């Protein structure tokens, strides 16, 4: 009577727990934790001393989780990988039999069973010293009745005596219910993981496409993303200073990672010739070639003028004036010198002084005749571009590049990010903001800029300054100069002082060298052999 009352209460309790576990499994998104939970609950339901969970992969079963209380052996999942060979899909093993037939297998004693003579449990016993008696193998079937794995339990223990007993019909029924719920939960987690992998792949493909539009920026986004994560992890490991109390959660780290990959997505709308403008006169081509052609034409007009004047004087019987040839030669020499000056001015590496700008205006004010009409030496647009004091971009072109941050926000706002990623647009869009409010596109101030965005801002500038090749630089900047510029940006109130201090203290700038070397090796390994 006591055993019957206990059994009834126990069944009711297990049914209640089955419902609770079903809910718990449905909200667990970590596959490793989920698999361990499934096996642990299955063992708890049946009071199994040991158990193994297998997943179906291709044409075999893989060991995922193994637990054995008697042997105090726990493998797989959070306990490390299991170095066990896969199980073939055939009827020669318990798990293989269950996976092939789709039927539960309940064996009272593997050593005396007259029907099933599996050698696997006996081999296991010989290797470990364990003694297997009762076995329950149950297939995990999803909502489409497809088998995705097997739960195998060993040695059910009597609730009162602790002796090994057969698995009951109730045990089998409950585990089959649990296995069905587990299969749905596993598929849900896999679906989420597959979706996340698909999204991550899409993000990386988009970022790579944006980077590869320019031969100068290839790999920039990947390097920035890896650098940003290195800084974030260093903050989590920080034991001193103002950042010691700041800990990024896994969700916050993932937000930063995605934002770093997508921070330049707005550049897809920026004209390629603006991004890569190597000289001041460059558009779809370098217009200095037009200037050279024009100056060659001007030289010809000067020469024709000399010949025409000379012919007229000879026809009139008049001698050539003194210094006639030298005058024209001087004009040609001055023209050549002006062209050489324009070619130098077209190079963004030179800073334009006031005297240079005045000379440009004098050149542009000169005219020549062609086809009976007067034409200036330089067009208004050519003069405006050549008068750029530093770099190669006009104010309008620089604004086009600056607009990429606002466009990134606009484009990312169209993506239905999950709750865990809802700060991605704000982080990505703020990578050109400055703590004093002088940044763009929104002019945010310190209190409006998250720590993730501050990290992204610093590493974006650092990587850009450290680039091996840029159209507006003749050679890479020395590391010392790059770090000095960053320090000045901090002192001006643009960049976060605490992040920069950590960046320097932990020498995180050296990470960029590691990232570049790794990317170079990967590129070399993937390059086709000739």
Whole-number Cα distances in Å, 215 to 283, 288, 309, 452:
16, 22, 52, 28
Per the domain annotation, does 318 fall within a domain? yes
Q: 198 CB contacts (<8 Å, ≥6 apart)?
A: none
- Rounded CA-CA distance 473/459 in Å is 19
Whether the model pTM is above 0.75: no
Per the domain annotation, does 197 fall within a domain? no
- Rounded CA-CA distance 476/467 in Å is 6
Q: Phi first, then psi: what are they for 56, rounded to 5°? A: -80, 125
Instruction: For residues 378 and 408, state if they share a domain.
Output: no
User: Can you name the residues that pair with 375 across neighbouring β-strands?
Assistant: 368
Whole-number Cα distances in Å, 310 to 296, 304, 315, 320, 492:
21, 10, 9, 7, 65
61 close to 55: Cβ distance less than 8 angstroms: yes
- Rounded CA-CA distance 490/488 in Å is 5
Boundaries of domain holding 445? 212-276+396-526
Per the domain annotation, does 207 fall within a domain? no
Count the Cβ atoms, other than its own, within 10 Å of residue 79.
Answer: 14
Whole-number Cα distances in Å, 166 to 1, 107, 207, 319, 504:
21, 7, 58, 130, 65
Per the domain annotation, does 203 fall within a domain? no
Residue 267 C-alpha from the chain's centroid = 16
Per the domain annotation, does 200 fall within a domain? no
Three-class SS state of 76: strand
- Of 392, 417, 444, the residue at which a domain comes to its end is 392
- Rounded CA-CA distance 171/80 in Å is 29
Instruction: For residues 267 and 307, state if they share a domain.
Output: no
pLDDT of residue 9: 45
Per the domain annotation, does 511 fall within a domain? yes
Long-range contacts of 112-115 (CB under 8 A, 24+ apart): none
SS in 3 state form for 384-397?
HHHCCCCCCCCHHH
pLDDT of residue 12: 65
Count the Cβ atoms, other than its own, within 10 Å of residue 170.
Answer: 15
**Token pair of 461, please?**
């500038």
b or e along 184-210 (b: 16 or more beta carbons within 10 Å of the residue's beta carbon)? bbbbbbeeeeeeeeeeeeebeebbeeb
Instruction: For residues 133 and 34, state if they share a domain.
Output: yes
- Give the position of tokens 């940044």: 439
Q: Classify burial at 64, counting beta carbons within 10 Å of its beta carbon; exposed 0-12, middle 13-18, buried 19 or more.
A: buried
- Rounded CA-CA distance 267/209 in Å is 10
Count the Cβ atoms, other than its own, within 10 Å of residue 36.
Answer: 21
Q: Phi first, then psi: what are they for 237, rounded to 5°? A: -90, -5
SS in 3 state form for 155-217?
EEECCCCCCEECCCHHHHHHHHHHHHHHHHHHHHHHHHHHHHHHHHHHHHHHHHHHHCCCCCC
Omega cis (within 30) before 441: yes
Instruction: For residues 375 and 305, state if they share a domain.
Output: yes
CATH of the domain at 252: 1.10.3210.10
Instruction: For residues 265 and 401, state if they share a domain.
Output: yes
- Of 191, 225, 241, the residue at which a domain comes to its end is 191
**Token pair of 319, please?**
């001698």
Instruction: For residues 60 and 150, state if they share a domain.
Output: yes
Instruction: For residues 106 and 182, state if they share a domain.
Output: yes
394 close to 384: Cβ distance less than 8 angstroms: yes
- Rounded CA-CA distance 175/182 in Å is 10
Q: Classify burial at 46, counting beta carbons within 10 Å of its beta carbon; exposed 0-12, middle 13-18, buried 19 or more.
A: buried
Instruction: For residues 318 and 412, state if they share a domain.
Output: no
pLDDT of residue 4: 47
pLDDT of residue 5: 44
- Of 332, 366, 392, the residue at which a domain comes to its end is 392
Per the domain annotation, does 283 fall within a domain? no
> Which element (helix H / strand E) includes 129?
none
261 close to 207: Cβ distance less than 8 angstroms: yes
Instruction: For residues 295 and 269, state if they share a domain.
Output: no
Instruction: For residues 175 and 77, state if they share a domain.
Output: yes
What is the C-alpha R_g of the chain? 37
Per the domain annotation, does 205 fall within a domain? no
| One-character DSSP codes across 37-55 | HHHHHHHHHHTEEEEEEEE
Chunked in runs of 10, what are the mean pLDDT values of the chain (530 residues)? 47 64 69 86 91 93 93 82 85 94 94 90 92 95 89 93 92 88 84 83 80 67 93 94 92 94 83 74 88 93 88 84 85 94 85 89 92 90 90 78 82 87 93 93 94 96 81 72 95 96 94 87 64
Instruction: For residues 126 and 248, state if they share a domain.
Output: no
CATH of the domain at 63: 3.30.450.40
pLDDT of residue 89: 92
Instruction: For residues 238 and 297, state if they share a domain.
Output: no
The domain total for the chain is 3
- Rounded CA-CA distance 472/514 in Å is 25
- Rounded CA-CA distance 265/443 in Å is 20
pLDDT of residue 377: 94
**Token pair of 359, please?**
């000379």
- 179 closest CA partner among 187, 57, 110: 187
Distance between the two ends of the chain, CA-based, in angstroms?
A: 84
């Amino acid at each position: 009577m006591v055993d019957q009352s206990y059994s009834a209460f126990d069944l009711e309790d297990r049914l209640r727990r089955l419902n609770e576990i079903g809910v718990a499994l449905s909200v667990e998104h970590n596959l490793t934790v989920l698999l361990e939970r499934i096996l642990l609950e299955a063992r708890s339901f049946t009071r199994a001393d040991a158990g193994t969970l297998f997943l179906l992969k291709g044409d075999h079963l893989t060991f995922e989780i193994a637990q054995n209380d008697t042997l105090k052996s726990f493998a797989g999942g959070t306990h490390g990988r299991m170095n066990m060979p896969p199980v073939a899909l055939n009827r020669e093993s318990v798990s293989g039999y269950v996976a092939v037939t789709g039927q539960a297998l309940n064996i009272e004693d593997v050593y005396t069973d007259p029907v099933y003579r599996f050698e696997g449990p006996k081999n296991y016993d010989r290797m470990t010293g364990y003694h297997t008696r009762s076995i329950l193998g149950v297939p995990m079937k999803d909502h489409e009745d497809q088998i995705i794995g097997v739960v195998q339990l060993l040695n059910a223990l009597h609730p009162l005596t602790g002796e090994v007993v057969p698995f009951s019909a109730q045990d089998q029924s409950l585990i089959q219910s649990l296995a069905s719920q587990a299969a749905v939960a596993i598929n849900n987690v896999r679906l989420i993981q597959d979706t996340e992998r698909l999204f991550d792949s899409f993000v990386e493909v988009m970022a790579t496409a944006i980077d590869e539009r320019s031969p100068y920026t290839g790999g920039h986004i990947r390097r920035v993303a890896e650098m940003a994560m290195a800084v974030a992890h260093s903050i989590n490991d920080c034991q001193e200073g103002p950042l010691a109390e700041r800990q990024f959660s896994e969700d916050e780290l993932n937000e930063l990672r995605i934002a770093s990959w997508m921070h330049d997505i707005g550049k897809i709308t920026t004209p390629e010739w603006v991004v890569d403008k190597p000289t001041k006169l460059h558009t779809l081509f370098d217009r200095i070639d037009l200037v050279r052609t024009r100056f060659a034409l001007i030289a010809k007009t000067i020469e024709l003028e000399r010949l025409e004047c000379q012919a007229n004087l000879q026809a009139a019987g008049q001698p050539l004036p003194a210094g006639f040839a030298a005058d024209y030669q001087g004009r040609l020499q001055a023209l050549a010198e002006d062209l050489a000056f324009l070619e130098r001015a077209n190079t963004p590496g030179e800073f334009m002084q006031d005297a240079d700008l005045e000379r440009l205006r004098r050149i542009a004010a000169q005219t020549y005749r062609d086809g009976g009409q007067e034409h200036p030496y330089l067009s208004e647009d050519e003069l405006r571009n050549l008068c750029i004091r530093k770099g190669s971009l006009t104010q309008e072109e620089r604004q086009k590049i600056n607009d990429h941050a606002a466009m990134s926000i606009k484009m990312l706002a169209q993506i239905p990010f999950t709750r865990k990623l809802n700060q991605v647009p704000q982080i990505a869009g703020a990578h050109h903001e400055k703590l004093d409010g002088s940044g763009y596109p929104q002019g945010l101030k310190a209190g409006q800029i998250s720590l993730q965005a501050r990290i992204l801002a610093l590493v974006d500038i650092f990587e850009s300054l450290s680039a091996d090749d840029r159209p507006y630089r003749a050679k890479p900047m020395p590391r010392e100069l790059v770090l000095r510029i960053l320090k000045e940006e901090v002192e001006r109130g643009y960049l976060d002082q605490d992040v920069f201090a950590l960046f320097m203290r932990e020498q995180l700038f050296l990470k960029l060298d590691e990232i570049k070397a790794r990317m170079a090796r990967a590129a070399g390994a993937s390059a086709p052999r000739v």
